[in-house]
């Protein structure tokens, strides 16, 4: 676009999941969609308490599983199952 003489006037975010706002390289950020995600501490993750299989093909699941090899030692499982037994 710039090669053809166009000018950048803004940066668009397709899906803003964390209410990011402001500027990027002096250009205003424009969110086309905002979908806030609920977040919680890892020691309170209900999926970990229930030992739900983690998706390792998107996000940080693979790296997280590499750090937490034994599902019985996942922080939420330890807190809510082992310590409450």
| Residue closer to Zn ion, measured from CB, 33 or 55 | 55
Q: Which of 11, 47, 63, 73 touches Zn ion (CB under 5 A)? A: 47
Q: Which two tokens stand for residue 67?
A: 């750090």
Question: Could you tell me which residues come within 8 angstroms of residue 44 by beta carbon, excluding any fewer than 6 positions away?
Answer: 76, 79, 80
CB of 38 to Zn ion, least distance (A): 13
Is 48 a binding residue for Zn ion by CB under 5 A? The answer is yes
Is 45 a binding residue for Zn ion by CB under 5 A? The answer is yes
Could you list the beta-strand ranges (E) of the chain: 11-13, 23-24, 27-31
Q: Binding residues for Zn ion, per CB under 5 A?
A: 45, 47-48
């Amino acid at each position: 676009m710039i090669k053809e003489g166009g000018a950048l006037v803004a940066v668009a975010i397709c899906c803003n999941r964390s209410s990011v706002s402001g500027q990027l390289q002096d250009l205003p950020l424009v969110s086309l969609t905002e979908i806030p995600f609920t977040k919680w501490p890892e020691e309170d993750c209900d999926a970990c308490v229930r030992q739900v299989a983690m998706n390792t093909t998107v996000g940080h699941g693979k790296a997280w599983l590499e750090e937490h090899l034994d599902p019985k030692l996942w922080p939420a499982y330890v807190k809510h199952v082992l310590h409450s037994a």
